[in-house]
Amino acid sequence: MILWRAAARHLLRHPWQTVLAVLGVALGVAVVTAVDLANETARRAFTSAAQAVAGKATHQVVAGPAGIPEELYRSLRLSGIRECAPMLTAPVQTAAPPYRTLQLVGIDPFAEAPVRSYTGHFSGPLLETLVAQQGSCLLLQSTAAALRLRPGQPFTVESGGRRVLLTLAGYLDPPDAVTRLGLDSVLVVDIATAQEVLSQEGRLTRIDLVLPEGEAGARELAALEKLLPRGTSVVSAGARAGALDRMTRAFRLNLTALSLLALVVGMFLIYNTMTFSVITRRSTIGMLRALGVTRREVCAGVLGEAFLLGSAGTVAGLLLGSLLARELTRLVTRTINDLYFTLQVTGVHLYPETVLKGVLLGVGATLAAALPPALEATGAPPRAAMARSDIEETRRRLVPWAALAGALLMAAGGGLFFVSSAGITGGFAALFAVIIGYALTVPGAVLVLSRLFRPLLGLWLGVIGKMAARGVVVSLSRTGVAAAALVVAVSATIGVGIMVGSFRDTVQQWLGSWLRADVYLRVADRGNARLRPVLDPGLVRRVAAAPGAAGYTLSRRVSVEGAEGATEIFSLQMPKSTFIGYRFKEGDPEAAWGPFSRGEAVVVSEPYAYRHHLTVGRRLTLATAHGPRSFGVAGVFYDYGTDAGIVMMSRGAYLANWDDPGVDGMSFYARPGVSPGELVAQLRRLAGSAEVFVISNAELRRATVQVFDRTFAITGVLRLLTLVVACIGILAALMALQVERARELAVMRALGLTPAQVWGTVIGETALIGILSGILSVPLGIIQALVLIYVVNLRSFGWTMELSIDPLLVLQSVALALVAAVLGGIYPSLRIARSLPALALKEE
């Protein structure tokens, strides 16, 4: 009990160090918790939305972009399949503020009961209104309130550039909280209304089925498959939801990994704090050992202290994390909306799993980080006054061994990078091995570099400079650890910074080759979905004849459902010159053009080839309107539009296989002498009252880069947080280092050093640690960037990026290390300079 009191008072006597240590853990836990909550909230919102809309359906009949003919539903029911319900669904936007994207879900209220639970609660009059009154719809009461709508009130929605008036007939009544969450952004209408709003008369998106389990189900499924016309297929509902989940998994995993990087930095800082705490109390521990305190009790004491710090940090981290999660959830949801599908998240809850993870990480990481210093403390010989030089000598003897161990760990990590079967997790394990290995070599590097810097500092600052350089070397047990922590922290920000910068540069280069036309045109809508509504055929004819255009392309982007989920098909009618301008990773554009333009082959994007293990010469089967058809792969091109990947085919091939003449995008090449601005004006004039979005190449590039920056805003936030964790750690370490030297500095003052000279010695020393750490963090930062680019991102998304290192970013990071280090020296140097030397000499 008395022992514990001694440990607790040590923490209270060094309040700044204690607060900074707690803050270090808190920020580490907060980042991980916030990312986890944001991911989990988005995932749950998606899952419950999918479940609420799909209901109890076990299977779904799906088809290509043109949808399913309504007659198929009738014939299924006539054939005896009773438990089935049709659905036509697409996103629509409200036309007045507050603008919001809602998922329009058209259903047959009479067929719903066996399939979906929330529709079983319709009261008689509501059902009648929904079916009998065209344009009536249902919303959750909370959604209606957010849109400021009351029953009976009309409102306008936009779809495919058209505006349609709907009337709120009443409220949805979900049976449970999960369904309620899933229905947050759902607008329920009768199927006929949906067909009118979406201009898809006679079509359905899918038919949901409830098939029995076991053999009976298999028999029904076999019978059903015989009834299905070509171009339609039946897929299991779970497989479809799974494919969507897989699509965002890599994105979520990447965020989790980045947050773990922040935690690793945090752990290093905890290790640093605890090591300092132990080293500075070595003589006290020695006294206790002389009094009969066992090694185990000393170890338990240090771990107990770490537990206290870890627990306090974890509680603060969980609170901070749940606050931070609100902002991160917004960023994650926005990215998912930009890249994958429409999702609305209204609230962030602290899930028990997340809390458990935070506690395990916060307390566990603190204890793990404190274990080496705790063991070190038990090694303190039970002699009250062990010579400081002994400790330093022991440490210096360990330096070559630590460097060797570090080199081996880095080699092991390096080897793991080349094992591609290790996947993303293996990539991260290797990365962490390299980081820790590198950190082990830092004290040795500090030793060598300080000796090199010593004459330089001597020339510059005279004896003070030499003392500062010497101080770093003779206190290697402290400075080595502080420098290693600083290197890990700063390198993480360099690594992530280079990765994002390289990605951005790569995307900009890609946009240069991908966006070759002068002006682009598509239907105007407020949604961010990749799949757009089709343009009016009359409009296409009108704008195609624009006098300022030398040529144009027609495109259509659709999603084709298959057993393994959806495949995005991008069909394009374009001149050869455009096609051969695309950057190919595999295959020759000149050679690929022939089979591509004849419709015999397709080209696939890099992530698609990576996910589906496709190379040039292999074949790919797609579910066409005329049944499954195999296409040759003529090339693999670079594309950074979606990590799910796309298949590009000629428009001719698309028309022949899917009977869908729709066009959702056009691009125009300006005649010589016509500026893109003039062409934009011409096209807008020709479009007349049609709601179209006409944008020049430069504007589109800017908008795309904006979306990119939005996507990586979250990475930026995480990088910033890692930086804050790092700064706090550096401050804590250097303050501890200098506070510990109070007595030594007081002796210097007693010997006649002026306050300014003491200040110079302290700042010189911390600045040297800062600059050395800054320099040493550059190679590790670049290694991390290489791993993130060539291993982690490649294995997550299948994207090749070109490494581009911004010297400014590197300089900034080195400067940051220096500034943080100098800041860390200010408080103790001022304290010493201001206090009377006699007082410091009297203190322990």
Partner 1 sequence: MTGSEAPLVELTGVAKSYREGDRERVVFRDARLAVAPGEWLFLVGRSGSGKSTLLNLVGGLDLPDAGTVAVQGMPINRLSERERTLFRRRHVGFVFQLYNLIPTLTVGENLLLPLELSGQLDQQGRERARYLLEEVGLSDRFSSYPDRLSGGEQQRVAVARALVHRPELLLADEPTGNLDAETSRQVLDLFERLIRPSGATMILVTHSMETVRLADRVVTVREGRLTEMTAGVGP
The site for partner 1 (CB under 8 A) is made up of: 1-3, 5-7, 9-10, 13, 283-284, 287-296, 381-385, 842-844
- Quote the least distance from Cβ 294 to partner 1, whole Å: 5
Q: Give the integer Cα–Cα distance in Å for 749 and 832.
A: 9
- The answer for residues whose C-beta is within 8 angstroms of residue 734's C-beta and 6 or more apart is 482, 766, 769, 821, 824, 825, 828
| 11 or 727: CB nearest partner 1 | 11
**563 to 64, 76, 222, 614, 781: CA distances (angstroms):** 13, 21, 15, 17, 42
Residue nearer to partner 1 on the CB measure, 291 or 545: 291
CA distance 98 to 735: 51
Q: Least distance (Å) from partner 1 to the CB of residue 295?
A: 6
Q: Min. distance of Cβ 392 from partner 1 in angstroms?
A: 13
Going by C-beta distance under 8 Å and a sequence separation of 6 or more, which residues neighbour residue 545? Answer: 686
Closest to partner 1 by CB, 3 or 19: 3
Residue with tokens 């209408």: 189
CA 207 from chain center: how many Å? 34
Compare residues 397 and 834 and give the one whose CB is closer to partner 1: 397
Closest distance of CB 844 from partner 1, Å = 4
The least CB distance from residue 299 to partner 1, in Å, is 12
Distance CA 303, CA 89 (A): 57
Least spacing, CB of residue 393 vs partner 1, in Å: 8
SS3 state at 369: helix
Q: Alpha-carbon distance 718 to 34, whole Å?
A: 10
Q: Minimal distance in Å, beta carbon 840 to partner 1? A: 12
Nearest to 255 by CA among 433, 13, 42, 98: 42
Nearer to partner 1 among residue 390 and residue 802 (C-beta): 390
Element housing 59 (H / E): strand 59-63
Pick from 610, 595, 601, 594: which is nearest to 633 by CA? 601
Q: Tell me the CB-side half-sphere exposure of residue 701, using CA atoms within 13 A.
A: 19
Shortest distance (Å) from residue 363 CB to partner 1: 24
Residue 98 in tokens: 């507050």
- The distance of closest approach from Cβ of residue 401 to partner 1 in the complex, given in angstroms and rounded to an integer, is 17
Least gap, CB of 318 to partner 1 (angstroms): 30
Please give the single-letter amino acid code of residue 297. E
Closest CA to 239 of 624, 563, 560: 563
| Cβ neighbour number for residue 266 with a 10 Å cutoff | 35
Task: Please report, for the chain, how many H helices and E strands are present, in that order.
Answer: 29, 21
Q: Please tell me the total number of residues recorded for the chain in this structure.
A: 844
Nearest residue (CB) to partner 1, 9 versus 702: 9
CB of 389 to partner 1, least distance (A): 10
Query: Of 8 and 404, which has the nearer Cβ to partner 1?
Result: 8
With respect to partner 1, which residue has the nearer C-beta, 142 or 284?
Answer: 284
Within 8 A by CB and 6+ apart from 125, the residues are none
Nearer to partner 1, 13 or 685 (CB): 13
Closest approach, Cβ 6 to partner 1, in A, equals: 4
Q: Which residues contact 458 (CB under 8 A, 6 or more apart)?
A: 465, 466, 469
Q: Are 472 and 738 in contact (CB under 8 A)?
A: no
Omega cis (within 30) before 98:
yes
Minimum distance from CB of 281 to partner 1 (Å)? 9
Nearer to partner 1, 293 or 566 (CB): 293
Nearer residue to partner 1 within complex by CB, 13 or 541: 13
Q: Toward partner 1, which CB reaches closer, 134 or 394?
A: 394
**Amino acid, res. 473:** V
Residue placing its CB nearer to partner 1 in the complex, 213 or 844: 844
**Cβ-Cβ contacts under 8 Å for 16 (sequence gap 6 or more):** 732, 735, 827
In the complex, the smallest distance separating the C-beta of residue 296 from partner 1, rounded to whole angstroms, is 7
Nearer to partner 1, 80 or 292 (CB): 292
Task: Tokens for 107, please give them.
Answer: 């259903």
Residue with structure tokens 């049944």?
A: 627
Position of tokens 């400079």? 465
Residue 16, class by beta-carbon neighbours within 10 Å (0-12 exposed, 13-18 middle, 19+ buried)?
middle
> Are 585 and 637 within 8 A, CB to CB?
yes
**CB nearer partner 1, residue 756 or residue 841:** 841
Q: In terms of CB distance, is 156 or 294 closer to partner 1?
A: 294
d(CA 496, CA 785): 6
| Nearest approach, Cβ of residue 368 and partner 1 (Å) | 25
Count of Cβ atoms closer than 10 Å to residue 564 Cβ: 14
Compute the least distance from the CB of residue 819 to partner 1, in Å: 34
- Give the angle 4-6-7 at the CA atoms, nearest 5°: 65
Amino acid 400 reads: P
Report how far residue 350's alpha carbon sits from residue 348's, in angstroms, rounded to the nearest whole number: 7
